[in-house]
Copies of this chain bind each other. A is one copy, B any other.
Amino acid sequence: MNPSSPPAPTLLDIENAHRLIRPFIHRTPILSCEGINHMVGCKIWFKCENMQKVGAFKARGATNAIRSLEPVQLKQGVATHSSGNHAQALSWAASLAGIKAHIVMPSNSSTVKVDAVRSYGGNITLCEPTLEARESTLASVIEQTGAFEIHPYNNLKIIAGQATATVELLEDKDDLEIVMAPVGGGGLLSGTALACHYLAPNIKVIAAEPAQADDAFRSFTQKTFIPSIHPDTIADGLRTSLGSLTFPIILAFVDQIVTVSEASIIVAMRLLWERMKVIVEPSSAVPLAVIMENPELFRNKKTGIILSGGNADLDQLPWII
Contact = CB atoms under 8 A, between A and B. Distances in A.
A93 B175 CA distance: 30
Nearest to A31: B51
A270 B314 contact: yes
Interface in A287-316: 310, 314-315
Contacts of A273: 279, 314
B274 A314 contact: yes
B274 A277 contact: no
A55 to B, nearest CB: 6
A29 B273 CA distance: 17
Contacts of A276: 51
A277 B314 contact: no
Contact of A315 (B51, B55, B314, B319): B319
Interface string A22-52: 0000000101000000000000000010110
Nearest to A279: B277
A276 B310 CA distance: 9
Contact of A29 (B29, B270, B317): B29
Nearest to A53: B34
B320 A51 contact: no
Contacts of A31: 29, 51
A228 to B, nearest CB: 27
A315 to B, nearest CB: 6
Contacts of A50: 277
Contacts of A278: 51, 277-279
Interface in A262-292: 270, 273-274, 276-280
Closest 8 CB pairs of A and B: A277-B310, A277-B279, A50-B277, A29-B29, A51-B277, A273-B279, A274-B314, A273-B314
Interface of A: 29, 31, 48, 50-51, 55, 270, 273-274, 276-280, 310, 314-315, 317, 319-320
